[in-house]
Amino acid sequence: MSDTLKAAVLTAVTRLAQPLARLLLEAGIGAGEFQAVMKGAFVRAAGELGDSPRPNASRIASLTGLTRREVASLLTAEPDTAPDPARGHHRIQRVLTGWWTDPDFQDRLGQPAVLPLRGPKQSFASLVKRYSGEPRVLTILDELLRVKAVRRHPDGKLEAVSRHFATARWDPQGVAALGEQVRDHLDTMLHNLKHPSRPRYQRVIQNVQLDPTYVPMLVRDITAQTDTLADSLEDALNDPAATVKPTDDAQSAVRLGVAFIVFESTTQVDPIRAPTKAVRPRGKGR
């Protein structure tokens, strides 16, 4: 792969990473946990590149830049196993976990103690120092207050009200579906890049200078028209005559689907700049 193409791939990944990072941060997931997930993904992807039915740890290590020991450990893990929650954990989440589990910061009933902001022993500042390694106590407190994981009492003391730092409360099944649908989009686009002579259908239609007043009407019409098409396609895709029926033996089948999305973001139409008039040079002797 040329340096130019490699730079283009890294630019594309950077654009993909920003919304993904936003999702992870809102779910209270730190960079260390994401790194652990990506290591597993790199190992599985590198294993699929080889012709051998059994993955070669040394070859995968050389392709991915991971140590052979890391590769061997990841190869024994289940494909969708989440990383160790204590490894690379979000700093703010570590503070919350310590508050709920460390006896030094619990009351007599084993519940998180109501803590003063500062103090030599049982205080929020000492909790942060022990579990986050972050000297900016107020920065962590502001985030915990913002997501309502901590409540401030009238006397200024702090109470833990949630075990988890997350700025969103999503349905787990919805998050799983998000991962599957994004994977399908990327698989199709990657297939088309690698096999331009036999691409899967992919088309994007957009107007980057749309008058905002037309957006609600167009979204309504697009939704209605797409629903009609989607219902027709669903009937065709799930036609019993074209569907493999289960039997006592395993049978080959194909997962085929179509996805529709509507995307929207704000843009800016730059003003027209009048062309600069050329200055006619004055002749000599004038």
CA separation for the pair 11, 78 (Å, rounded): 31
Evaluate if residue 162 carries a pLDDT over 80.
yes
The 10s digit of each residue's pLDDT in 100-134 is 888 889 998 889 999 999 987 889 999 998 888 76
Does this model's pTM top 0.75? My answer is: no
For residue 73, what are its two tokens?
Answer: 């450990």
Fold observed for domain 91-160: Arc Repressor Mutant, subunit A (1.10.10)
> 154 pLDDT band (50/70/90 cuts)?
very high
Average pLDDT over residues 6-26: 85
112: CB partners within 8 A, 6+ apart: 99, 100, 105, 106, 159, 160
Pair 40, 74: CB distance under 8 Å: yes
Instruction: Report the mean per-residue pLDDT for the chain.
Output: 84
Pair 165, 96: CB distance under 8 Å: yes
The 10s digit of each residue's pLDDT in 163-184 is 877 665 566 766 777 788 888 8
What is residue 221's predicted lDDT score, i.e. its pLDDT? 96
Q: Is residue 133 classed as helix, strand or coil in its secondary structure?
A: coil
The 10s digit of each residue's pLDDT in 66-88 is 888 888 888 887 655 544 444 43
What is residue 89's predicted lDDT score, i.e. its pLDDT? 46
